[in-house]
Structure formats: C-alpha cells, structure tokens
Amino acid sequence: MRIEMAKRIDQIPPYLFAEIDKKKEEIRNKGIDLIDLGIGDPDLPTPKPIIERLKKAAENPKNHRYPSYEGMIEFRSAVAQWYERRFGIKLNPGTEVLSLIGSKEGIAHIPLAFVNPGDVALVPSPGYPVYRVSTLFAGGIPYFLPLRKENGFLPNLSEIPKTIAKKAKLLFINYPNNPTSAIAERPFFEEVVAFARRYQIIVCHDAAYSEIAFDGYQPLSFLEVEGAKEVGVEFHSLSKTFNMTGWRIGFAVGHSEILSGLGRVKTNIDSGLFQAIQEAGAEALNHLDTPLPEIIAIYEKRRDVMVKGLQEMGLEVDRPRATFYLWIQVPKGYTSAQFATLLIEQGGIVTTPGNGFGEEGEGYIRMALTVDEKRLKEAIERLKRIKF
Ligand SMILES: *Cc1c(COP(=O)(O)O)cnc(C)c1O
C-alpha cells in the first residue's frame, strides 16, 4: 500500500530540531565530541520539593483516575495566587485559568478554536515554530511579522496592511523572546492592546521565559496592561521556570471565553493533565520564589562567559537581559545554515540556524546556554580555532 500523507502534514517542513538531530547523529558517529547549544532544554534538575510532592501525589489512588478537563482547582488556584504575587493581577481560578499539558499543547490547539480556513494569524518571524504550524493545521494563513534588530526585535504593527489586519483572527507575540532574547516593555504591550481592539484580534502572548531574566530585571505580564484581559490570553509554562520540560505542565490565563474555546478543543482531544503532576506544579508555584535565584545566577554567569568570548572573537551579539539564548549575527559571507554547519563540522558545536525560526532569522544563529560553564569555555576555545 502506498502511504500518502495528508496535505496539512506534507506542506510542513520536518520539525526543525528533528533535522538537527539527524546532523548531530552523523557527526557523533564520526567520533566527534559534541557541545550541544542547540535546544533550549535546561540541563539543571527540577528542585527537590517538587519531586518530593510528585512522589507523594503519585501514591494517592485518587490521582490515578482521569483528571478534570480544565485542571484541578488546587493547581488553578496556585496559578491565580502566583499571578497576584508576581504581577499584581487578580484572576478567577474557575474561569480565567486553564491547565495545559505544556504550553506548546495550548499554543498548538488554540487556532483550532478560532481560525477558520482562509483566516489570517499574525506570526512573528523569527519565532517559535509552533505558531506557524498550528495556524496551518487549522487551515489558516500565517502572515509573518518581521522582528528586526533595528526595532528591538519587536514587530512593527503599523506596517501590517489594513486588509491583512481585517482578516486576522490571532496575533502571536512572545516576550522575553525565543529566539532573539529580546524583551518588551509596557508601551509595546499597550500598542498591541490598541491594535487588537481596533481589528478585533485575539492576542496570544507566550510568556514561557517570564521567569528567566537577569540583573534584577522582572519581565512584565501582558495582562498587566490596561485592557489586555479583554483581548487576549497569556501562555505560561513550568518548563523553563522550574526546569520541568519533561513533566509537561503549563497553563493559559486571561479572557474566559477565549480559554473556554481552547478548552472545548482540548476536551475533544486530550483528557487533561496527570493530577500528581498538577499537585507538584501547585507546590512549585506556592512555595518557590520566582525567578529561582539559584537558576538565574547560573545562567547569568554562563551568559557573561559566552558573550565575552564571542565578542572577543569579533562576533556580533547582544548581552541578553532575559531567556537563556544568544542571538548571534553570522559573519559576512555565510548563510545561517553554512555557519551552523561550519561550527558543528569543525568544532563539534551544535547551534540552531536562525532561518529555522522563519525567513527573517536568516543571518543569525541561536545558542542556548544549557550546558555548564566548563563546556562553554571549551566551546569558546574550539571556536577560536575555527577560521571564519
Ligand atoms: C520552551 C517554549 C515553550 C514550550 O514550553 P512547554 O511548556 O514545555 O511546552 C513555549 N514557547 C516558547 C517560546 C518556548 O521556547
């Protein structure tokens, strides 16, 4: 039998990191030691109290049954209380908080609730690949908003043609930003709210890195801006905040009807999030201070070591105030892919070519600071030996 993929799968290039995995395998098979700065997956362990709570919760037979669709009230209340402590925002845990099986799950499903075939979703480029793909899965048309250095890697909303804005149902934004590590301040979020109101567009703010920030900087929640809760939702994740990428726990907060649309999609696809993990998530939000000072101190040091090393080599890179990414301009004469290939082949250093995050990422590579300082220093030594 000839197996034919559906068009919605065929139109999508293989997931970026799956391609890079293949290249890594090839190089590793040659016996070359790899320093992997490719994927944004924290190398540090989940804090002990969270693990202890999971162990206990896993013993409870009540947690062995199907969880509720929208999430346990204990977890959703912990989210609401954390929001109030951290951002000064009041949320109703019953209607304004939804548990997610990781924030990627929510981001991937939300277009199914709001995008009809032919509708537009506004998607940053470069950006987290899921915004574009989830739009396509829903039959929507991604319209790319370029994030350029000269604009602080914020989209210029006034450049969006009126005809496009009128057809748009969703706007994805993400600050602190992956992959550029840029941050957004209040005036930008105010602009977003005004734009969303004018064109009746649902704003999806991905705040996965709100708790990974340096030098005392505390990123804003989109919901802190007046009127934001009337136009949008914010996605959060425990993945980066508490080193829990493998646990699959996140949440969305904000406009109750938008959340209920997402919830309706989810009830038809998944059956919620293992309650023991939700209990452990509540433990994290209730009892640990965010940003977690121990984690931040480690990333700060890694950032300083790496930025200094790269700048001494003459590479163009900004010192980020948030996220664990460095967004590095490739030297003249190289494309992103060529430079990433050079680094992996001649130095065993895995990076992500910027164009993998969208066309506007061409001319950059991304490094994730998710290996220890000693290995980063080793990476710098190897980089110094490569001629470019
Ligand atoms: C890591 C990441 C997420 C996904 O996090 P999960 O909660 O683990 O699914 C979402 N958005 C961005 C931009 C990320 O980098």
Please list every protein residue whose CB sits less than 6 Å from any atom of ligand 1.
40, 102-104, 128, 174, 178, 206, 208, 237, 239-240, 245, 250
Residue 360 to residues 179, 246, 374: CA-CA distances in angstroms? 11, 30, 32
- Distance, CA 385 to ligand 1 centroid (Å)? 34
Q: How far is the CA of 135 from the centre of ligand 1 (A)?
A: 17
- DSSP per residue, 160-196: S-HHHHHHEEEEEEESS-TTT-----HHHHHHHHHHH
Ligand 1 atom closest to the CA of 177, numbered from 1: 13
Residue 242 Cα to ligand 1 middle (Å): 13
Ligand 1: centre distance to CA 4 (Å): 30
Q: What's the 2 CA to ligand 1 centre distance in angstroms?
A: 35
Report CA-CA distances (Å) from 21 to 172, 375, 377. 27, 20, 23
H/E run at residue 328: strand 325-329
Pocket test for ligand 1, best of 79, 240, 366 (most atoms within 8 A of CB): 240
Q: Enter the tokens of residue 114.
A: 């709001």
CA of 104 to the centre of ligand 1 (A): 6
| Pocket residue to mutate for ligand 1, from 100, 110, 125, 239, most atoms within 8 A of Cβ | 239
CA 238 to ligand 1: nearest atom: 7
Q: Supply the residue whose CA is at minimum distance from atom 2 of ligand 1.
A: 208
**Is 48-287 in CATH node 3.90.1150.10?**
no
User: Which pLDDT does position 160 carry in this prediction?
Assistant: 98
352-353/364-368 β-pairing? antiparallel
Q: Which atom of ligand 1 is nearest to the CA of 105?
A: 9
Distance in Å, CA 203 to ligand 1 centroid: 17
Is pTM, for the whole model, over 0.85? yes
Question: What is the CATH code of the structural domain delimited by 7-45+292-385?
Answer: 3.90.1150.10
Length of the chain: 388
**Ligand 1 atom with minimal separation from the 104 CA:** 9
> How is the chain split into domains, by residue range?
7-45+292-385, 48-287
Q: What is the pLDDT of residue 15?
A: 65
Report H helices in the chain: 7-10, 16-29, 48-59, 73-87, 103-114, 130-137, 162-167, 186-199, 228-231, 238-241, 256-267, 275-287, 293-312, 336-347, 373-385
| Burial status of residue 30 (CB atoms within 10 A of its CB: 0-12, 13-18, 19 or more) | exposed
Distances (CA, A) of 290 to 56, 178, 260, 267, 344: 23, 19, 28, 31, 35
Give me the residues paired with residue 36 across strands: 350
What string of pLDDT tens digits covers the 388 residues of the chain?
999 989 888 888 776 677 778 888 998 898 889 999 998 999 999 999 999 999 999 999 999 999 988 889 999 999 999 999 999 999 999 999 999 999 999 999 999 999 999 999 999 999 999 999 999 999 999 999 999 999 999 999 999 999 999 999 999 999 999 999 999 999 999 999 999 999 999 999 999 999 999 999 999 999 999 999 999 999 999 999 999 999 999 999 999 999 999 999 999 999 999 999 999 999 999 999 999 999 999 999 999 999 999 999 999 999 999 999 999 999 999 999 999 999 999 999 999 999 999 999 999 999 999 999 999 999 999 999 998 8
From the CA of 322, how far away is ligand 1's center (Å)?
Answer: 15
